A and B are shown apart, each in its own frame.
Chain A
Amino acid sequence: MQSFFEVLAYAIIAYMLFSSLSYLGFFLLAFGKVKREANLDRKESTEDLLGNQNTFPVSILVPAYNEEVGVTSTVRSLLSLEYPEKEIIVIDDGSKDKTSERMIEEFQMKEIPFAVRLHIESAEIKAIYQSSIFPYIRLIKKANGGKADALNAGINLSSYPYFCAIDGDSILENDGLLKTMKPIIESDGQVIVTGGSVRIANGCTISRSKVEAIDLPKSPIVLMQIVEYFRAFLIGRLALSHLNVLLIISGAFGVFNKERVIQAGGYNKDTVGEDMELVVRLHRLLREEKSKQRIEYIPDPVCWTEAPETLDVLKSQRIRWQRGLLETLWSHKKMMLNPKYGSVGLFSMPYFLFVELLGAVFEFVGYFLIIGGFAFSLIDPFTAGILFLVTIFYGSLISALAVLLEELTLHKYPKASHLMRLYFWALTETFWYRPLMVFWRVLGIFAAFRKGAHWGDMKRKGIST
């Protein structure tokens, strides 16, 4: 029996070393590009697009469920976005509070007769309003159907060829939309989806839905999430985008080509990871059509989001992400290791399965063996020692490195003390934060299996958690 655990321990050591090395490899792939572009004059590189008449108009969809507190300020901040042609569509997904009333009052909205094309099915639409101050702001009042359903209704009503979705708790930078659209515009529409990375707004000074001063939050839970974002974005996603095999990141900001999304059937109502599932479906569509179109990712952050501050909320977020990932991989299992789907099938799907999904299981077993080894001689203490060090290496040292690499390339936090704090918190990751995440991610996998049994009645609570 001991030799079984012994072998298991070495397998996990090998897994962690291999993952660490591939992280580093990924980063090297992307390093040149990020480093090079970090010093580019932000304004200059988008200035040209702003005055250009050929920029593609964009519909901004704002799904809202019980958001009476924040909905109007979200819309106000969208008004000031630098973008030549845009419309804003707020979708009240059957809120029980005064979400619609707030909108109607603030923007002097009037009910209008409006033809909705039923490109994608959605729950019943009750009324459509238009602002008499800003005619390009509209509001859809509909029966509750969940976020995916709300977005589908928004797509049906939208009149422009591209759309993006933004949550009530996210703040777009002024030039965020322009920067995200840039790859689409420059490729003449060959890029059909772009994703921009997200930054955590906690700790920053926010005034009237704009980030005015950048600072770090006090709470270690949020600090660790910042480190996590660094790690994921800098090391993983960038390189994946480089290879055009990016799936998508839960909660990131993305712009989509509307016709393609309609062709793919819109957002899937039966998964909690609707944005990721949609991107995978679009990848699948492109490969099946042998299209040259592609999906791209921009490293420069364009959007701020409020990260969970309490363990409870963080826990449910992680369980949801993990469930969404599993559901997505499951419903597209046909693509896994299938050469027909090119590098997405051969590379990205396995990466998401083994690193993003099952990685948690391996790490969980690793922690179990370390404790078992030291406390109950489950494995040779020597092996346990090596496993322990490799776990620290995989958790803390790689995360700390991510902090340094962020500073080397994008350096988005203004003070040296910010860098110090992030670095030293990153070093503590293996000892408290990572075990927690690993445990929740494993719970997420179980949750997905349990829910899988009664797929049909997976009624979503709404948009906000």
Chain B
Amino acid sequence: MSLHFFWILSLSLLLGQLVLLLALAWRKEKMSAKEQAITQQYEALIDSFSSYMLDPSDDRFLREIQNSTHKIVVLERLLNGYVAVTKGSVASPLVTKLSEDLLAAHYAKQLARKDWASRMNTLYYIEDFHITSLKPLLKERIDKSSILDQETQQLLRTLASLNEPATISVLARYPDAPVRLYTDVFQRLEEQTRMEELDAALRNEIQNNALKHAAVSYIGRAGLIAFLPRIEAELKTGEAEMRIQALKAILHMQYLTDPGLLLSFLQSQSWTERMYASRIAGKLQLSRFKEVLSVLLGDPVWWVRYSAAEALLQFSDGDILLTHLSADHPDRFARDMAAQWKSSLLGSET
């Protein structure tokens, strides 16, 4: 390779960069001019907008927005501001009217665009403004989706916010869908639809375990005590993952009708079960398990030792117990863990 070659390479790279620099600088100027125009129009319209939202007979706003050169963006900002600060605005007939009249057609086009970010933003806005007329279009898109990427996930959330029960069955097509997403969808559905879907998921007639796990997990987080007996029944299932989900749900709900159920889990072969059972025993202050928990303090798995110590502390004499165990437990790891959780009470003398 010659010096010549490197000279030409470097210079052409530099030239290329300079061209790109000019193009970017030009784009920046243009973008900031546009942004300024939008801000101006937004500020000019905000007054008539707020009057219109309080008293629709004052329809100056409807005429003024039609004259705006950036009508879509300006309206988006105004509506966004409105729904963020006013309660019950989802059901507001004015938001619906404005968004259906001025935004729906535009959004239908946006959804077909190549640019990912604009499609995503559109999905957010459809949810915020509750644009029901786009539901069929969204359903069509979700039926065509084949991977659960960020966009499909938002599509599901948006559809769920429009109370579309089919979202659950779409989600169930993806066995590794995160529980979080199920939670988001369940939460957005209207109450009656939600309860029906949860009930169906627990009955599990379509043999979809991922869906059932998610339902159990949601019930736990939302604290739906009505489902407790059915969750407790799952503790006896032969399926390991299901038992863990049920334990987690009980930990969240902080309720258990028969504490005796817990013993076999505290002595289970699976460390995850021992860990959750310890946490439940602590949360519910089941003092009959104090001794088992003291034994678990010397468990070979760190997480179990940690949870057992945390659980012991929930009892009124927890601190004394841990102080004692940190000195006398036969297992060295148990003594260390107890010492770690033992508290040094500061400032209590003063």
Establish whether A and B are touching in the complex (CB under 8 Å). Answer: yes
Give bound CA distance, A386 to B339, whole Å.
64
A270 to chain B, nearest CB (A): 20
Least distance between B272 CB and chain A CB atoms (Å): 12
* Interface pair A113/B28, CB less than 8 Å apart: no
* A186 near B344: Cβ-Cβ < 8 Å: no
**A411 contacts partner chain B, Cβ-Cβ < 8 Å:** yes
**Is A125 at the interface (CB under 8 A from chain B)?**
yes
Question: How far, in angstroms, from A382 to B10 measured CA to CA in the complex?
Answer: 16
Q: Let me know if A186 and B180 touch, CB within 8 A.
A: yes
Contact (Cβ within 8 A) A119 B180: no
Asked whether B346 lies within 8 Å of A128 as measured between CB atoms, the reply is yes
Q: Which of B128, B302, B340, B347 contacts A113 (CB 8 A)?
A: B347
| Interface flag for A400 (CB, 8 Å) | yes
Contact of A118 with B339 in the complex, beta carbons under 8 Å: yes
A101 on the interface (CB 8 Å rule)?
A: no
A188→B347 contact, CB < 8 A: no
Provide the residues of chain B in CB contact with A185, threshold 8 Å: 180
Instruction: Identify which of A31-39, A168-176, A299-307, A371-379 touches chain B.
Output: A31-39
B240 within 8 A of A: no
**Residues on A with beta carbons closer than 8 Å to the beta carbon of B14:** 397
Cα of A275 to Cα of B184 in the assembled complex, Å: 34
Partner of B24, one of A127, A389, A408: A408
Q: A127 and B128: CB pair below 8 A?
A: no
CB distance from A341 to the nearest CB of B (A): 20
> What's the nearest-Cβ distance from chain B to residue A303, in Å?
23
Contacts A263-B302, A404-B21, A419-B24 known; A386 to B346 CB distance under 8 Å? no
Interface residue? B85 (CB, 8 A)? no
Chain B: which residue is nearest A263 at the CB level?
B302
A54 touches B28 (CB 8 A): no
Residues of B within 8 A of A114 (CB): 345-347
CB pair A117–B343 under 8 Å, yes or no, is: yes
Closest Cβ neighbor of B121 among chain A residues = A41
CB distance from A124 to the nearest CB of B (A): 10
Task: Check B348 for interface membership: any CB of A closer than 8 A.
Answer: yes
Given contacts A397-B13, A401-B17, A419-B21, contact A390 B347 (CB under 8 A): no
Contact pick for A38, options B80, B84, B117, B343, CB 8 Å = B117
Q: Cβ of B7 and Cβ of A119 under 8 Å apart?
A: no
Q: Does A351 contact B (CB under 8 A)?
A: no
Any A CB within 8 A of the CB of B227: no
B17 in contact with A113 (CB, 8 Å): no
Q: Give chain A interface residues in 259-315, CB to chain B under 8 Å.
A: 259, 262-263
Tell me the chain A residues, 385-432 only, with Cβ under 8 Å from chain B: 385-386, 389-390, 392-393, 397, 400-401, 404, 407-408, 411, 414-416, 419-420, 423
Contact A37 B117 (CB under 8 A): yes
B183: interface (CB < 8 Å)? yes
Q: Are B306 and A259 in contact (CB under 8 A)?
A: yes
Within 8 Å by CB of B342, from A118, A188, A423, lies A118
CB nearest to A259 among chain B residues: B306
Question: By the criterion CB–CB under 8 Å, are B116 and A389 in contact?
Answer: no
Judge if A40 is at the interface, Cβ distance under 8 Å: yes
A186 to B180, CA, bound (A): 6
Beta-carbon contact of A113 and B21 below 8 Å: no
B180 lies within 8 A of A386 (CB): no
CB pair B221 A54 closer than 8 Å: yes
Contacts of A416 in B (CB 8 A): 25-26, 28-29, 32
Residue interface mask A31-56, B partner, CB < 8 A = 1: 00000111111011101100000100
Q: Is B233 an interface residue (CB 8 A)?
A: no
**Do B340 and A117 touch across chains, with their CB atoms under 8 A apart?**
yes
User: What CA separation (Å) do A132 and B46 show in the bound complex?
Assistant: 41
Cβ-based interface call for B319 (8 A): yes
Interface: B67 (CB within 8 A)? no
Given contacts A117-B343, A186-B178, A389-B6, contact A404 B17 (CB under 8 A): yes
Q: Does B82 contact A (CB under 8 A)?
A: no
Q: How far, in Å, is B60 (CB) from chain A's closest CB?
A: 28
Q: Which residues of chain B are near A263, meaning CB under 8 Å?
A: 302-303, 306
Interface size class of A (residues with CB under 8 A): 35 or more
Collect the chain B residues with CB atoms within 8 Å of residue A41's CB: 120-121, 124
Q: Is A97 an interface residue (CB 8 A)?
A: no
Of B21, B179, B344, which contacts A423 at CB under 8 A? B21
Residues from 1 to 36 in B contacting A, C-beta threshold 8 Å: 1, 3, 6-7, 9-10, 13-14, 17, 20-21, 24-26, 28-29, 32
A85 / chain B contacts, CB cutoff of 8 Å: none
Is the beta-carbon distance between B347 and A127 smaller than 8 angstroms? Answer: yes
B341 part of interface (Cβ distance < 8 Å): yes
Closest to B84 in A: A47
Inter-chain contact A115/B340, CB cutoff 8 Å: no
Q: Quick check: A188 and B180 within 8 Å, CB to CB? A: yes
Name the CB-closest residue of A to B1.
A386
- The residues of A that contact B32 with a CB separation of less than 8 Å are 414-416
Report the bound CA distance from A242 to B225 in whole Å: 41
Contact A419 B180 (CB under 8 A): no
**Nearest Cβ in chain B — how far from A231, in angstroms?**
14
B156 CB, min distance to chain A CBs, angstroms: 13
Cα of A111 to Cα of B28 in the assembled complex, Å: 54
Q: How far is the CA of A48 from the CA of B153 in the complex (A)?
A: 13
Provided the pairs A45-B124, A386-B6, A415-B32 are in contact, do residues A40 and B117 lie with their beta carbons within 8 angstroms?
yes
What CA separation (Å) do A47 and B346 show in the bound complex?
40
Q: Determine which of B13, B84, B319, B346 lies in contact with A116 in the assembled complex, contact meaning CB atoms within 8 Å.
A: B346
Q: How far is the CA of A186 from the CA of B21 in the complex (A)?
A: 37
| Sample (20) of A-B pairs whose CB atoms are under 8 Å apart | A36-B116, A38-B117, A39-B117, A44-B125, A54-B221, A115-B345, A117-B341, A127-B347, A128-B346, A128-B347, A186-B178, A385-B3, A385-B6, A389-B6, A390-B6, A401-B17, A407-B28, A408-B24, A416-B26, A419-B24
Interface residues in chain B, defined as those with a beta carbon under 8 Å from any beta carbon in chain A: 1, 3, 6-7, 9-10, 13-14, 17, 20-21, 24-26, 28-29, 32, 80, 84, 115-118, 120-121, 124-125, 128, 157, 178-180, 183-184, 221, 302-303, 306, 319, 339-348, 350
What is A's interface to B at a CB cutoff of 8 Å?
Answer: 36-41, 43-45, 47-48, 54, 111-119, 125, 127-128, 185-188, 259, 262-263, 382, 385-386, 389-390, 392-393, 397, 400-401, 404, 407-408, 411, 414-416, 419-420, 423
In the A-B complex, list the 6 residue pairs whose CB atoms are closest, starting with the nearest: A115-B343, A39-B117, A44-B124, A113-B348, A416-B25, A416-B28
Query: A39-B121, A262-B306, A393-B13 provided; 12 other pairs, C-beta below 8 A?
Result: A40-B117, A45-B120, A111-B350, A113-B350, A117-B340, A117-B343, A187-B178, A188-B179, A393-B9, A397-B10, A419-B28, A420-B25
